[in-house]
């Protein structure tokens, strides 16, 4: 009888323990739904998008940021959570905002990549996302700006075409904060040769566009225009560049890089290339802004189809792309009206595509009439 209170106390303690355990189990069950909207299943957490998690804006990161940039002070579990959250939010693709205009961007002018920590990404869409990176540009690489339209929360993305480096020939969006107008006039590796001096007397600054080209004639037209003209589409890693000398002779190179065309002996891709020389002659003035001329000679180095392998790259001799069925060429000077330019010329050179009534100051066009191919040059 004296032991009965002791047994009652013991039973109360056991019962309290059982109630406490049951309460903890219920609490754990109610908290199994996580902030990200996921549910615990065994030892795996399924993460679902949650509007409460802030999305990463394009302006939140340098163009060169990658997952490897995570601070060394971050713990392993924090890194995993961060990457998982980024994965969940990036599944909702940002919409392309309506563009604004940056009048400080110079369309068609060469720019140089500067100030990047690692590389400047060329993207298929104007916002930061790991899945839209299509090429990489590095400090010193050159590009041309295709439009004054800018995108992004702060108008930081513009549309460009790369003209040098690994991304040469590719077009896309880059962060304009990492490009500056180039001090270089050209990007070709073709050696410079001095232009012939013009015999035309110096004149005072003209008062009209018509007068501005008054000192250009059939005999000195080639020393009055840019020395280099480019033929490119902005799609693919290819371009043709020609360097024109004062006597109408020219030399050029066509390059088309295809990293995906590989083989056992050429794991680094295939490059189609052609070096060529020629001469323009029979120059005739059509009007104040147009000259007609003919290709009187055109020769290429090597035989089309010849192949060689060097440093893991297969090189294939091509032909002078841009000189298809070459005969008559037309030269267009700045100020020429665009209303009667062919769609082929405007598409290749992007001259007149923005509705400009005339060819912009400092921009020149060279049109292969039979081949319907357009080259663009700039002062």
Please write the tens of the pLDDT for every residue from 337-348.
Answer: 999 999 999 999
Please give the mean pLDDT across all residues of the chain: 75
Per-residue pLDDT, averaged over 63-78, amounts to 39
Q: What is the pLDDT of residue 197?
A: 43
In this prediction the pTM is 0.48
Q: Which CATH superfamily includes the segment(s) 54-184? A: SH3 Domains (2.30.30.40)
CATH 2.30.30.40 maps onto the chain at 54-184
What confidence category does residue 11 fall into, taking pLDDT thresholds of 50, 70 and 90? low
Cα 120 vs. chain centroid, distance in angstroms? 9
Reported as a single tens digit per residue, the pLDDT across 20-29 is 544 444 444 4
């Amino acid at each position: 009888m004296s032991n009965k209170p002791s047994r009652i106390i013991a039973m109360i303690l056991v019962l309290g323990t059982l109630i406490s355990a049951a309460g903890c189990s219920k609490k754990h069950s109610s908290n199994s739904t996580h902030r990200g909207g996921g549910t615990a299943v065994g030892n795996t957490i399924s993460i679902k998008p949650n509007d409460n998690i802030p999305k990463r804006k394009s302006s939140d990161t340098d163009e060169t940021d990658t997952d490897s940039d995570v601070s060394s002070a971050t713990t392993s579990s924090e890194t995993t959570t961060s990457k998982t959250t980024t994965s969940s939010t990036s599944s909702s693709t940002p919409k392309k905002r309506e563009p604004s205009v940056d009048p400080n961007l110079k369309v068609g002018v060469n720019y140089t990549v500067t100030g990047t920590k690692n590389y400047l990404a060329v993207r298929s869409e104007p916002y930061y996302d790991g899945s839209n990176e299509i090429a990489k540009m590095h400090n010193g690489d050159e590009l041309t700006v295709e439009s004054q339209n800018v995108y992004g929360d702060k108008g930081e993305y513009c549309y460009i075409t790369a003209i040098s480096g690994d991304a040469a020939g590719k077009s896309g969006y880059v962060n304009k904060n990492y490009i500056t107008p180039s001090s270089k006039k050209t990007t070709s590796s073709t050696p410079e040769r001095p232009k012939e001096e013009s015999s035309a007397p110096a004149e005072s600054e003209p008062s009209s566009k018509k007068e501005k080209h008054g000192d250009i004639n059939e005999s000195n037209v080639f020393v009055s225009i840019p020395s280099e003209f480019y033929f490119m589409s902005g799609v693919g890693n290819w371009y043709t560049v020609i360097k024109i000398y004062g006597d109408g002779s020219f030399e050029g190179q066509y390059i088309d890089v295809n990293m995906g065309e590989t083989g056992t002996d050429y794991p680094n891709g295939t490059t189609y290339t052609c070096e060529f020389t020629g001469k323009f002659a029979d120059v005739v003035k059509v009007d104040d802004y147009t000259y007609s001329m003919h290709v009187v000679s055109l020769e290429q180095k090597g035989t089309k189809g010849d192949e060689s392998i060097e440093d893991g790259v297969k090189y294939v001799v091509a032909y002078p792309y841009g000189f298809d069925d070459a005969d008559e060429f037309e030269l267009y000077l700045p100020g020429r009206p665009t209303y009667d330019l062919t769609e082929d010329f405007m598409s290749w050179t992007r001259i007149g595509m923005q509705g400009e009534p005339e060819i912009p100051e400092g921009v020149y066009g060279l049109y292969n009439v039979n081949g319907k191919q357009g080259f663009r040059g700039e002062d």
